[in-house]
Amino acid sequence: MKIGIQGSRGAHSENAAAKLYPKAEIVTCTTFEDCFKFAQENDDCKIMIPIENSSSGRVADIQYLIPKYKLQIYAEYFHPVNHYLLGIPGSKLKDIKYVMSHAQAISQSGKIIKKNNFKPIIAADTAGSAKYISENKKKNVAAIASSLAAKIYNLDILATNIEDESGNVTRFLVMGKNAHHPDLLKDNKYITSVIFKVRSKPAALYSALSGFAINQVNLSKLESYPEKNSFANFSFLCDCEGHIEEPRIKAALEELGLHCKSLAIIGVYEASSFRQL
Mean pLDDT of 6-13: 92
- Burial class (CB within 10 angstroms; exposed 0-12, middle 13-18, buried 19+) of 194: buried
pLDDT score for 165 = 87
Assess whether pLDDT exceeds 80 at residue 228.
Answer: no
pLDDT score for 6 = 93
Give the C-alpha separation, 59 to 222, whole Å.
Answer: 15
Mean pLDDT of 133-155: 96
Domain ranges of the chain: 2-80+169-176, 84-159, 190-275
pLDDT class of 39 with cuts at 50, 70, 90: very high
Assess whether pLDDT exceeds 70 at residue 92.
Answer: yes
Give the C-alpha separation, 251 to 248, whole Å.
Answer: 5
pLDDT score for 131 = 95
Q: Which of 269, 12, 247, 51 is nearest to 147 (CA)?
A: 12
pLDDT tens across 190-219, in order?
999 999 999 888 888 999 999 999 999 999
- CB 142 within 8 Å of CB 133: yes
> Which of 26-40, 204-218, 227-241 is the least confident region?
227-241
Mean pLDDT of 237-253: 97
Pick the CATH number of 84-159 from 3.30.420.40, 3.40.50.720, 3.30.360.10, 3.40.190.10: 3.40.190.10
CATH 3.40.190.10 fits 2-80+169-176, yes or no: yes
pLDDT score for 65 = 93
pLDDT class of 82 with cuts at 50, 70, 90: very high
pLDDT score for 14 = 94
Please give the residue that has the higher pLDDT: either 60 or 18.
18
- CB 202 within 8 Å of CB 208: no
pLDDT score for 60 = 81
pLDDT score for 236 = 93
* Mean confidence (pLDDT) of the chain: 93
pLDDT score for 75 = 97
pTM above 0.75, yes or no: yes
Assess whether pLDDT exceeds 70 at residue 277.
Answer: no
CATH code given to domain 190-275: 3.30.70.260
The phi and psi torsions of 71 (rounded to 5 degrees) equal -75, 160
Q: Do domains 2-80+169-176 and 84-159 have the same CATH topology?
A: yes
